[in-house]
Chain A
Amino acid sequence: MLTASVDQTKSPKGNLFFLLLIALAFVILILNKAYFWSGHPLLTYPDQSAYFAMAEMITQGKLPYIDFFEWNPPLIMYLNLIPVFGSRLLHIPAALAMNFSVLVLSAVSSLIALRVAYKYSSRQNFLVLLPMIFAAAYFSQELLINSGEREHLFVLCYLPFFVLRSIVWKSDTNSEPPISKFDALQCGILAGIGMALKPQFVASAAIVELFFFFQFRSLKSLARPEINAVLSVFAAYLLCCLMLPPAVWDVYFHQVVPLYLSGLSYSSETLMPMLRTNGDFYIPFLHLILTLSAAIALSRHSHLIAPLAVFSLSFVFHYIYGAQSWPYRFLPMTAALFMLDGLILGIALAGIFRRLKQERFTLPVLAFAMLVVALSLTGQVINIERECYKGATLFDMSPLGYQGKCLKSDLDPLFFFIVDKTRPSDSAFFMGTGIGPGYPAILQSGRQQGSRYIFCLLPFLDYCVNQTHAKRWQDMSDLVIANYGKDIASKKPAMIIVQKRVVLDLLVQQNFFLRYMSDYEISGETNLHEIWVRTKK
């Protein structure tokens, strides 16, 4: 049934009607998400909103690491300039601009991947790649909390490149028609940007190339325009980084990186909670177990299975090595598993129809299946949205300078404190062990960031001090406290939100409130936070 067979020479991909149905399925997926985000114009999440805020600060002339602290490489901040300008140009809320930017990227990614697959692969291969690309698009549309995380962006950027490379490796041995430089370059540039977001992405992409090489043993496939484009993007990124003032890199290498390497263990976890805390964790790993068990058994039927499987496994490594229970870190693992599912389905379907000698039905069945899935997903979203809005309390966005309303449930309780007790031109900042809920609340409220620290470093520094007793961490801790003091004195933020657990105790130990917050008083509190507002103008 599923015997490995040699690719046939390229033939027309199929009836135009069914191809249009497939295109419609993809369009429906995109529109479905657009519909969703439109109904939630202020909905965003901590990391994504923090990067947007950093990009906004860059447009104000601020420098990363010096004027605002962050411990990730700078690319994501600069990429967020796109939604920042989009937000200003179209006068839409920041969250909406971000989500639509990701949606546009998703659409572009699917379009390029489909175009490359349609243009350069054989009919047989195209029918196998199609459900794989659809599965990736479906996976992307399902994301909510982690939509727009760097891992998600990487998957979107990498997808067309992966499709192209799979054709390149295979076609090199079978003398397929050459791939245009334009297509190669656009895939390479997009993938290069995605890979440059985190160094481990490069490692995973490299291992995929290694697996293709093991299968096809052709060095020619490595000397290609898309590879050059990827390397050029890295070079350009490096060059741009070097153009930043030396002081930036001084802080980065002498403060940020050491603290990241030593301090992140503060929030590290053991293996079991990383695999099983709740459904967000164990369902993807159950998916891994089932899909990879099937994939290895079927690995002879497609040259794509092994590379996708090891791509998936590489992200298991990255996730476990990071020792943090942050589900977005294994997003690419899940994406690869979805792609494997799509691929296996494509192989199975093609095999079944080939055995029944009804190959002409493969494309129609695929087309209708995709359309049904896209429509059912859309139906689900429409129903959920109707239920969400039925009797729900809405927030009028006009105080934020925008037309329309949004669900109050999209907003963190801190948002309402900020909006009630500060003016639109005010600034605020959050002192907590994580980015949230300070962000997205501060971004949603349209207030400025009132300190260089988007999250509080003191617990991490305290951890380093306790572990190593090294003076450098105590010095850095004193510096952070002093910097908070300077920020309060210079920016006069209207509101300071303090996390009760851990942070409050550390601040009290440092006499922080007496030293720097004499112009503030407690205006309210939640279970987890104290809300301090400025009394003196």
Chain B
Amino acid sequence: MRIVAAGLLSKGELPYVDFWDWSQPIVFELLKWLTLLCTSLASLGVAVIPASFIPLCIFALILGSLLLLAAVAGQALNSIDSAESREQIQDFALASGFSLALTALIARFDFGELQYVLMLAMAPWLYSRWLAHSFAHLQTAAVEIKRSAKLASRLLALLTGCCAGVVACFDLPYVFVFIIVELALVLQSQRWRSLISLQWLTFVSIIALNFVYLAALPEPVHTAFWQWTMPLKWLNYSIIDPEIVAPLSSPNRVDIVYCLVMAGIIAFSLSKKYSCFAPLTALMLSGLGLYMLEGQGFSHDFTLAIFAVTSVLVSAVLIAVRQISNWLTRRRAEASLPARLPSPLLVQSIIAVLAVATATIVWQSIEHDRSKLQDYLSANITKGNLPLDIALERTSKVNDSVTLLSPYIEPAYPLLLFSGRKPGGYLLWSRPLWIFKWISDNSSFTGPMKDFQAHTWSNIESEIAQHRTDLFIASDDKVLNTFDREKFFRALRKGYLEVDTTGDYFSLGNHQPHEFCGSNPQFRFFVKRSERGQ
């Protein structure tokens, strides 16, 4: 959806005013620049399109995050002498890196989501903050630090701080994640001075700059953002869909909670001796908080928690391996027949093989989920029930503009992107309609929210009246009750014909790759009458 938004931005459309999604302006700005870069590359003869270029950039971010992590670890190892400290630094770097890669794989269906990118920025940030709190005193006390090393250290601090600061601006609650993690580190280390760092300065500066940028947004974007979109987002945090009470009405990711509990228990058992578990646990719990705040139960809301859980478990395994290796080394040195004991290298090799096996199993399970869904789709097609993509193919063609009213993003995207359909409506997804319905049932429309509702409705009205959209796809009539339902359908039927074709967003047990929240009704298709020769 954000790639589609990027395309609209590059055409000069204003976010929140000409099209609506509630991503932060910084997200749109970054996407706009990436699209421009893509266009520039395309003009230079490089065969790229935004649909592939932006995911490629995300992939580059994954590599960048891993490299940054490695650079920070390398720089720390160069400046610390203590063997035990070096072991800890190395192990946590390895754990963070492997966990990052593994989580990137586990959350593959959520590739490029905001929490996914948050995770990429958080990994090197958390690692470097842990170093600052746990080993800064060793660094300054020990080796004479070369000027180049100092410069490298400052550069890395700037980079991690900058990335973290930018990503913290991606969504309202993200900055609190950084604060909670830092508080956990401070409480543990008791080193308040560690807050006075180039990293934090950069982080705070970026946040401040972003705030200035938001305050200086030009009208009408300023009003649409501050008075419409942000209050709506805030309200969304405080309400929950009553329909998600029934079984299977929201994704049931209890598996993550079980892993979280297990990771928490492991973290508490090791936290006295190993300082990395405090910030990881704080991160894990913050991830749980983000999941609860979003209130819809989607797996992508758990990405950060998954990363933290994976980091805890991997760190624990590495600690165990280290302990076993050290023990074996000592025993072999003492033993009369050392060959009877396994070599530490053997143990490490076994763990490495297990790590690869784990990654393979995760990959296979994702493929298994995908193929199970495909089978389910095929079975339904045989019964005459069409999935959304086939229904879309039958009722529209490439480059047609399509308005898909759905209270959650998943049915519409990436379908519209990969099918070559253009977004036809103001709302890229229709969560605001659902919230408007909640307001009309539980409160009343006043002030800016009334203006927003009027703006949204007038956009939908004009889309219908001016036939700006070639195909209207709507689910869940209850959402449409926000407006004068009779008026809406009267207007719609003037210019559009409801066809017999209906489409389903098929979901197998509300598992990935197709998740939904609340109800998952059929989608009705309304084709422009001129398309049908009527």
Binding site for B on A (CB under 8 A): 1-2, 207, 211, 214-215, 265, 268-273, 275-277, 282, 285-286, 288-289, 292-300, 305-306, 309-310, 313-314, 316-317, 320-321, 323, 325
Q: A214-B269, A270-B251, A270-B297 are in contact. Are A297 and B240 (CB under 8 A)?
A: no
A289 CB, min distance to chain B CBs, angstroms: 4
Greatest chain B CB density within 10 A among A215, A294, A314 is at A294
- Chain B 296-321 near chain A by CB (<8 Å), digits 1 or 0: 11000000000000000000000000
Other-chain contact of A320, B245, B248, B249, B254 (Cβ < 8 Å): B254
22 chain-A/chain-B pairs, Cβ below 8 angstroms: A265-B247, A268-B247, A269-B245, A270-B248, A270-B250, A270-B251, A271-B252, A271-B257, A272-B295, A272-B297, A273-B250, A276-B240, A293-B184, A293-B285, A293-B286, A295-B268, A296-B282, A297-B185, A306-B271, A317-B257, A317-B258, A325-B245
CB-nearest residue of chain A to B280 = A296
Chain B contacts with A in 261-281, Cβ cutoff 8 A: 261, 264-265, 267-269, 271-272, 277-278, 281
A289 near B288 with CB under 8 A, answer: yes
Q: Give Cα A241 to B265, complex, Å.
A: 34
B contact patch SS: helix
Apart from A211-B268, A271-B250, A296-B278, what are 17 other A-B pairs with CB-CB below 8 Å? A2-B190, A265-B247, A270-B249, A270-B297, A271-B253, A271-B297, A275-B292, A294-B184, A297-B187, A297-B188, A306-B268, A313-B265, A314-B261, A316-B257, A316-B260, A320-B257, A321-B254
- For the complex of A and B, the 10 pairs showing the least CB-CB separation, nearest first, are A297-B187, A272-B297, A297-B188, A270-B252, A293-B282, A289-B285, A306-B268, A296-B281, A297-B184, A297-B278
With a cutoff of 8 Å between Cβ atoms, the chain A residues found around residue B180 in the complex are 289, 293
Given contacts A272-B240, A277-B240, A285-B288, contact A300 B272 (CB under 8 A): yes
- CB contacts (< 8 Å) of A293 on chain B: these are 180, 183-184, 281-282, 285-286
Find chain B residues with CB under 8 A from A214 CB.
269
| CB neighbours of A313 from chain B (8 A) | 261, 264-265, 268
* Option from B264, B272, B282, B295 in Cβ contact (under 8 Å) with A310: B264
Task: Count how many pairs of residues, one from A and one from B, have CB atoms less than 8 Å apart in the complex.
Answer: 128
Q: In this assembly, does B244 line the interface, its C-beta being within 8 Å of a C-beta of chain A? A: yes
Inter-chain contact B292/A277, CB cutoff 8 Å:
no
User: Which residues does chain A contribute within 8 Å of B495, judged by CB atoms?
Assistant: none
Check if B289 is an interface residue, CB within 8 A of chain A. yes
Partner of B264, one of A276, A292, A294: A292
Q: Closest approach, in angstroms, between the C-beta of A461 and any C-beta of chain B? A: 17
Interface size class of B (residues with CB under 8 A): 35 or more
| Residues on the B chain within 8 Å of A300, using CB | 188, 271-272
User: Which chain B residues lie closer than 8 Å to A273 at the CB level?
Assistant: 240, 244-245, 250
> Within the assembled complex, what's the spacing in Å between the Cα atoms of A148 and B260?
30
Instruction: Classify the interface of chain A: helix, strand, loop or mixed.
Output: helix
Q: Are A276 and B250 closer than 8 Å at their CB atoms?
A: no
Complex Cα spacing A296 to B272, Å = 9
Q: Smallest CB-CB separation from A270: which chain B residue?
A: B252
Residues of B within 8 A of A323 (CB): 254
Of chain A, the residue at the smallest CB distance from B297 is: A272
Task: Give chain B residues whose Cβ lies under 8 Å from the Cβ of A309.
Answer: 264, 268
> Hey, which chain B residues are within 8 Å of A320, CB to CB?
254, 257-258, 261
Which residues on the A side are within 8 Å of B277 (C-beta)?
296
| Complex alpha-carbon distance, A265 and B248, angstroms | 12
How many angstroms between the C-alpha atoms of A26 and B59 in the bound complex? Answer: 59
Binding site for A on B (CB under 8 A): 180, 183-188, 190, 240, 244-254, 257-258, 260-261, 264-265, 267-269, 271-272, 277-278, 281-282, 285-286, 288-289, 291-292, 295-297, 510
Write the nearest CB–CB distance from A326 to chain B, whole angstroms. Answer: 13
Instruction: Pick the residue among B252, B285, B295, B297 that contacts A292 (CB under 8 A).
Output: B285
Which residues in B have their C-beta under 8 angstroms from that of A292? 264, 281, 285
Considering the chains assembled together, what is the distance between the CA atoms of A434 and B242 in angstroms?
19
Residues of B within 8 A of A269 (CB): 245-247
A-chain residues with CB within 8 Å of residue B510 when the two chains form the complex: 270
Chain A residues contacting B190 (CB-CB under 8 Å) are: 1-2
Distance (whole angstroms) from the CB of B133 to the closest CB of chain A: 10
CA distance A316 to B291 in the complex (A): 16
Chain A residues whose C-beta falls within 8 Å of the C-beta of B288 in the assembled complex: 285, 289
Residue among B187, B244, B248, B288 facing the most chain A CB atoms (10 A cut-off): B187
Whether A288 pairs with B265 at a CB distance below 8 angstroms is no
A321 to B295, CA, bound (A): 20
Cβ contact of B271, chosen from A1, A282, A296, A325, cutoff 8 A:
A296
Looking at the assembled complex, report how far the CB atom of B388 sits from the nearest CB atom of chain A, in whole angstroms.
23
- Closest Cβ–Cβ distance, residue A424 to chain B (whole Å): 39
Residues of A contacting B254 with CB < 8 Å?
Answer: 271, 320-321, 323
Q: Which residues of A contact B291 (CB under 8 A)?
A: 275
Selected contact of B269 from candidates A295, A306, A321, CB within 8 Å: A306
A294, B188: Cα distance in complex, Å: 9
Docked-complex contact A211 and B269, CB < 8 angstroms: yes
Pick the contact of B188 from A215, A298, A310 — CB < 8 Å? A298
Complex: how many Å from CA A310 to CA B267? 10
A299 contact set on B, CB distance < 8 A? 268, 271-272, 278
Bound state CA distance, A180 and B272, in angstroms?
A: 32
Shortest C-beta distance, B183 to chain A (Å), equals 7
A289 B268 Cβ-Cβ under 8 A: no
A267: shortest Cβ distance to chain B, in Å? 9
Closest to A300 in B: B272
C-alpha spacing A292/B295, complex, angstroms = 21
What chain A residues lie within 8 Å of B282 (beta carbons)? Answer: 293, 296-297
A305 to B269, CA, bound (A): 10
Which of A292, A297, A299, A316 gathers most chain B CB within 10 Å? Answer: A297
Q: How far in angstroms is the closest Cβ of chain B from A288?
A: 7
Q: Are B285 and A310 in contact (CB under 8 A)?
A: no
CA distance A298 to B186 in the complex (A): 10
CB closest chain-B residue, reference A323: B254
Q: Nearest-CB distance from B62 to chain A (Å)?
A: 27
- Min CB gap B275→A, angstroms: 9
Name the residue on B nearest A1 (C-beta): B190
Which of chain A's residues have a CB closer than 8 A to the CB of B257? Answer: 271, 316-317, 320
Q: How far is the CA of A183 from the CA of B292 in the complex (A)?
A: 43
For residue A310, which residues in chain B have a CB less than 8 angstroms away from its CB?
264-265, 268-269
Closest residue of chain B to A344 (Cβ to Cβ) is B187
In the complex, what distance in Å separates the CA atom of A296 from the CA atom of B268? 6
Shortest Cβ distance from A275 into chain B, in angstroms?
Answer: 5
Contacts of B244 in A (CB 8 A): 270, 272-273
In the bound complex, residues from chain B placing their C-beta under 8 Å from that of A316 are 257, 260-261
The answer for the CA separation of A257 and B510 in the assembled complex, in Å, is 29
> Which A residues lie within 8 Å of B186 (CB)?
297
Contact A272 B272 (CB under 8 A): no
The contact of A317 among B249, B261, B267, B292, by CB within 8 Å, is B261
Interchain nearest-CB distance for A209 vs B (Å): 13
Q: How long is the Cα–Cα vector from A323 to B258 in the complex, in angstroms?
A: 12
The distance in angstroms between the C-alpha atoms of A277 and B250, with both chains bound, is: 13
Residues of A within 8 A of B183 (CB): 293-294, 297
By beta carbon, the residue of chain B nearest A303 is B272
A294 to B183, CA, bound (A): 8
